[in-house]
Amino acid sequence: MNKKWRKYLLIIASVVILSLVGLLIILLHYQNGFGYGTWINGVYCTGKSVNTVNDEIVSEYPIPTVVIKTIDGKEYEIEGTKFGFYYDCISELKKIMELQDESVNVFSGAEYEIIGERFYDEEQLLSEIHHMKLFTDSADLAPGVTLSWDGEKYMVSDTTHDVLNKMKAVDCILDSVREGNYFIDLYEKSCYEDVAYTDDMKQVFILYDLISKFLEIKVEHIVGVEHEIAPKSELLNWLEKDANGIPVCVDGKLQIDKEGILSYVSNLASEYDTYNVVREYDTITGMKAVIPGGNYGNQINVEAETEIIYQSLLDGETEIIREPAYSQKAYYQGHDDIGPDFIEVDITNQKLYLVKDNVILIETDIVTGSVDSGWDTPELVCTVYSMSRNRVLRGPGYESPVSYWVPVYGDIGLHDASWRSKFGGEIYKKNGSHGCINIPSEVMDDIYYSIEIGYPVIIYSLVDNIQE
């Protein structure tokens, strides 16, 4: 064989040897890695091991957060890292590697799409669920029916509707995560339900109805032209209450607190009682007189009125409209107990006025108690408590026959004085009466037949009083 062919054979042999060596090197390089040109889930895998590729693929997977939505729209979250959530693609990657190994073709690369497996600690997930604010908060909200006072009215709180079934909710959350669903709407999953009323709960509704009906009771006092209606807030004070401020019910009946009624009637008396009170009085002449006490006025009998209302409520009356019980009753009731009909005695000006319907019917000069003798006519608001004809008035050192006798305060009264020829002026200071109001005979006749028992009499002095 000539040198030329030897040279060719040597070259050919060298190429074959180099090719075999190169192939061996490639085989050794890819024996633990993916074949040339392999792409998996968008990751270039040529020559890379299963573990390396797994790390690259799962690093692109976000760790989910479990979101739980409640009936009121609130959302609670559990991060996947808290219950050991992770993805793993080892199993799928090994399958691809085995397919490539079976082909014994280092150039068997291709593109693949795989789905990683999910792994987590279900016991840890369960622990996280039980420690959620959703479950710890609702632990204190046991379903029930309660009665409470908000400062103005009683209210029923009913928490028996749409109650979270905790066991069902936990199962729904666990099942959803197992299925790969990380948003759970508990309402849509029917995790809320109504709880049946217990006998105790039903009693709360009965009590509320009793209170509501009690507050519809009308208690109205007619005081002259004024009407006082007990407000609902006051009616509530007439009910006995337990330590929590809830009205007490025994055998289906609310218990009445007599002390509450007594307090109300006492306040009513404070507002309208006029007996023996100091008055600031506007006189006929436009002056203002301060008049101390007297035997005229209204006085509500607090104990009697309290008992009447108490018994009426016990009897089940729903409309109590009445005039209060009085221990003393004036000619008129209400704030203006003097009214439009009265007698006014002006000591300072020695005048008497008989007024009817706010019109002066009689105006006359008079003589009142002697100042120098210490028989001053007292200043007060009093009342006609008797009327008689043809009497003899007796006292220390005197007997005075009169045709008309109208006592108004003890031994003080109105009467004619036939022994006098003059009235008015300053007669009373030195030659006045023994305290009575002396009136001309002809005028006294008109007065006597114009009044009746109970008629108010206002006696005042204008000394130290200031005109308006």
Examine the fold and report which residue of 274, 306, 328 is the final residue of a domain before the chain moves on.
Answer: 328
Specify burial of residue 188 (Cβ count, 10 A radius: 0-12, 13-18, 19+).
Answer: exposed
Identify whether 419 is part of a domain: yes
Stretch among 179-188, 380-389, 394-403 having the lowest mean pLDDT: 394-403
Closest CA to 348 of 468, 459, 467: 459
Identify whether 61 is part of a domain: no
Looking at residue 348, which CATH number applies to its domain?
2.40.440.10
Examine the fold and report which residue of 305, 328, 351 is the final residue of a domain before the chain moves on.
Answer: 328
Q: Rounded to whole angstroms, how far apart are CA atoms 459 and 295?
A: 12
Based on the fold, state whether residues 448 and 385 are members of the same structural domain: yes
Contacts of 54 (CB under 8 A, 6+ apart): 88, 89, 90, 93
Rounded (to 5) percent helix, strand, coil in the chain: 30, 30, 40
Identify whether 143 is part of a domain: no
269: amino acid identity, one letter: A
Identify whether 93 is part of a domain: no
Cβ(80)–Cβ(63) below 8 Å: yes
Report the sign of the C-alpha dihedral through residues 267, 269, 272, 273, in that order: negative
Based on the fold, state whether residues 307 and 354 are members of the same structural domain: no
Based on the fold, state whether residues 308 and 354 are members of the same structural domain: no
pLDDT at 463 over 90: no
Please calculate the CA angle 189-190-196 and round it to the nearest 5 degrees.
160
Q: What percent of the chain has pLDDT over 90?
A: 76
Identify whether 254 is part of a domain: yes
Range 383-400 average pLDDT: 93
Q: Rounded to whole angstroms, how far apart are CA atoms 90 and 54?
A: 6
Task: For residue 379, give Cα distances in angstroms to 293, 341, 436.
Answer: 8, 19, 12
Backbone angles phi, psi at 254, to 5 degrees: -70, 145
Residue 260, both tokens: 């509450």
Q: Rounded to whole angstroms, how far apart are CA atoms 442 and 455?
A: 20
Quote the pLDDT of residue 467: 44
Say how far residue 168 (Cα) sits from the centre of its chain: 37
Which residue range(s) make up the domain with 287?
Answer: 218-328
Quote the pLDDT of residue 244: 86
Closest CA to 213 of 237, 236, 196: 236
Residue 138's pLDDT band, with cuts at 50, 70 and 90, is low
Q: What is the pLDDT of residues 218-233, one digit of tens each?
A: 999 999 999 999 999 8
Quote the pLDDT of residue 400: 92
Identify whether 39 is part of a domain: no
Stretch among 72-81, 134-143, 329-338, 439-448 having the lowest mean pLDDT: 134-143
Quote the pLDDT of residue 27: 44
Based on the fold, state whether residues 384 and 302 are members of the same structural domain: no
| Listed ranges 51-60, 388-397, 439-448; the one with the highest mean pLDDT | 439-448
Q: Rounded to whole angstroms, how far apart are CA atoms 440 and 69?
A: 98
pLDDT at 107 over 90: no
Q: Rounded to whole angstroms, how far apart are CA atoms 173 and 129?
A: 8
Based on the fold, state whether residues 456 and 347 are members of the same structural domain: yes
Q: Rounded to whole angstroms, how far apart are CA atoms 51 and 93?
A: 9
Q: Rounded to whole angstroms, how far apart are CA atoms 356 and 383?
A: 15
Range 298-302 average pLDDT: 97
pLDDT at 389 over 60: yes
Tell me which residue has tokens 């005695």. 345
Based on the fold, state whether residues 315 and 358 are members of the same structural domain: no
Residue ranges of alpha helices (H) inside 257-353 are 258-272, 302-314
Stretch among 27-31, 127-131, 322-326 having the lowest mean pLDDT: 27-31
Cβ(351)–Cβ(239) below 8 Å: no
Residue ranges of alpha helices (H) inside 59-163 are 90-103, 122-130, 133-138
Cβ(438)–Cβ(357) below 8 Å: no
Based on the fold, state whether residues 353 and 447 are members of the same structural domain: yes
Quote the pLDDT of residue 375: 95
Q: Rounded to whole angstroms, how far apart are CA atoms 227 and 24?
A: 117
Looking at residue 236, which CATH number applies to its domain?
3.10.20.800
Range 141-161 average pLDDT: 86
Residue 197, both tokens: 């009323």
| Listed ranges 93-97, 278-282, 306-310; the one with the highest mean pLDDT | 306-310
Q: Report the residue count for the chain.
A: 468
Residue 13, both tokens: 């042999």
What is the DSSP code (8-state) at residue 196? P
Interior/surface letters 119-145, b for 16+ CB within 10 angstroms, e for the rest: ebeeeebeebbeebebbeeeeeeebbb
One DSSP character per residue, 220-272 reads: EEEETTEEEE--HHHHHTTB-B-TTSPBPEETTEEPB-HHHHHHHHHHHHHHH
Cβ(97)–Cβ(109) below 8 Å: no
Q: What is the number of domains present in the chain?
A: 2
Q: Mean pLDDT score of the chain, rounded to an integer?
A: 89
Identify whether 362 is part of a domain: yes
Based on the fold, state whether residues 426 and 350 are members of the same structural domain: yes
Identify whether 421 is part of a domain: yes
Backbone angles phi, psi at 126, to 5 degrees: -60, -40
Quote the pLDDT of residue 468: 43
Based on the fold, state whether residues 346 and 423 are members of the same structural domain: yes
Based on the fold, state whether residues 317 and 346 are members of the same structural domain: no
Q: Rounded to whole angstroms, how far apart are CA atoms 172 and 190?
A: 9
Based on the fold, state whether residues 347 and 454 are members of the same structural domain: yes
Based on the fold, state whether residues 284 and 248 are members of the same structural domain: yes
- Looking only at the bridges linking them, the beta strands covering 299-300 and 326-328 are antiparallel
**Helix (H) or strand (E) segment spanning residue 28:** helix 3-30
Examine the fold and report which residue of 293, 328, 363 is the final residue of a domain before the chain moves on.
Answer: 328
Residue 274, both tokens: 């006029």
